[in-house]
């Protein structure tokens, strides 16, 4: 048997009533939610009862998805499932780093709240959105994005046949037409900004300032693959801080990340947090691997019984 990797879900996977059954089933998960409520009162209740629209606002999405990600991972670890490596998609990378020891739960949650505020402010100053383009390969999408306008960028390389583009509203409308003409399909992503694009440069600057003000990551206990490089986070705290700050304004190299994990001997991928997006991307990218989704107490128990 090869190794296990935890994949931490990102923004866009949120949904009403996410993660709250873990509170009753797992003391470790309950502690994660309790710390989140101390830092940001009402987070657990927002996960429990907020509408889809409320959860889609960046300043709500990121804290709620983070706490669900980390709670599910903590519940699995409590049951004896320990990964050899971690990766997180966009926001999920902060949860992965926290789980791997870069931050304690409180510091990781505070960082996510700061990140969400900075990204929301950047999105307000530079209105935009994102499209998931399917049925076309990355090179085709890159070419179409270039044709759609200078404020249009491929930013998330999700699978061999899915690339997400971020940009200005008018450029994305042009992209929709070009994608349809090319035989592909462009779908709106449930986010409120052009994330991982140059529109987020101010968020990167703000994060760098925040990290430098006494919030640098500690050495990792478990390797974490970086979205920006598809390579493990550097051991040097200053270099790791630079990668973390730049992540919000640079592309997510998810396909390369999954291949790198498999090349390291990972053959079992467990998506922790809301939804099944990352599980689906693994299945569309890799072969000869086992894939699990873990967002409920029932799924934690089933995975632990099989793997622990």
Q: Is 218 a catalytic residue?
A: no
Contact, 145 vs 153, CB < 8 A? yes
CA distances from 275 to 55, 127, 214, 292 (A): 14, 26, 34, 11
**Is the four-CA dihedral 167, 56, 212, 245 of positive or negative sign?**
negative
**Is the four-CA dihedral 277, 283, 286, 290 of positive or negative sign?**
positive
Q: Is 90 a catalytic residue?
A: yes
Closest to 89 in 3D by CA, of 52, 118, 107, 62: 62
The one catalytic residue in 26, 44, 90, 279 is: 90
Locate 61 and state its tokens: 């999405």
The one catalytic residue in 15, 68, 126, 196 is: 196
Contact, 109 vs 290, CB < 8 A? no
**C-alpha to C-alpha distance for 99 and 233, rounded to whole angstroms:** 14
Residue 189 makes CB contacts below 8 A (sequence gap 6+) with 12, 129, 130, 131, 132, 164
**C-alpha to C-alpha distance for 294 and 22, rounded to whole angstroms:** 11
- Residues marked as catalytic: 90, 196
């Amino acid at each position: 048997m090869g190794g296990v990797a935890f994949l931490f879900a990102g923004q866009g996977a949120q949904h009403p009533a996410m993660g709250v059954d873990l509170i009753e089933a797992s003391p470790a998960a309950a502690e994660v939610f309790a710390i989140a409520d101390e830092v940001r009162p009402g987070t657990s209740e927002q996960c429990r009862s907020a509408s889809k629209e409320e959860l889609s606002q960046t300043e709500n999405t990121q804290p709620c998805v983070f706490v669900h990600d980390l709670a599910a991972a903590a519940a699995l670890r409590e049951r004896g499932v320990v990964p050899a490596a971690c990766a997180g998609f966009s926001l999920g990378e902060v949860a992965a780093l926290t789980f791997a020891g870069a931050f304690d739960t409180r510091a990781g949650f505070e960082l996510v709240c700061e990140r969400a505020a900075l990204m929301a402010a950047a999105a307000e100053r530079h209105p935009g959105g994102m499209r998931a383009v399917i049925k076309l390969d990355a090179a085709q999408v890159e070419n179409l994005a270039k044709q759609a306008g200078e404020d249009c960028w491929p930013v998330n390389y999700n699978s061999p046949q899915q690339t997400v583009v971020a940009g200005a509203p008018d450029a994305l409308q042009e992209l929709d037409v070009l994608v349809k003409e090319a035989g592909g399909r462009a779908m709106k992503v449930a986010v409120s900004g052009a994330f991982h694009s140059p529109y987020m440069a101010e968020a990167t600057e703000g994060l760098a300032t925040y990290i430098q003000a006494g919030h640098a990551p500690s050495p990792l206990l478990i390797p974490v693959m970086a979205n920006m490089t598809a390579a493990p986070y550097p051991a040097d705290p200053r270099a790791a801080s630079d990668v973390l700050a730049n992540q919000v304004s640079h592309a997510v190299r998810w396909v390369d990340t999954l291949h790198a994990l498999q090349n390291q001997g990972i053959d079992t991928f467990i998506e922790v947090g809301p939804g099944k997006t990352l599980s689906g991307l693994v299945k569309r990218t890799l072969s000869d691997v086992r894939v699990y989704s873990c967002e409920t107490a029932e799924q934690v128990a089933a995975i632990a019984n099989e793997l622990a």
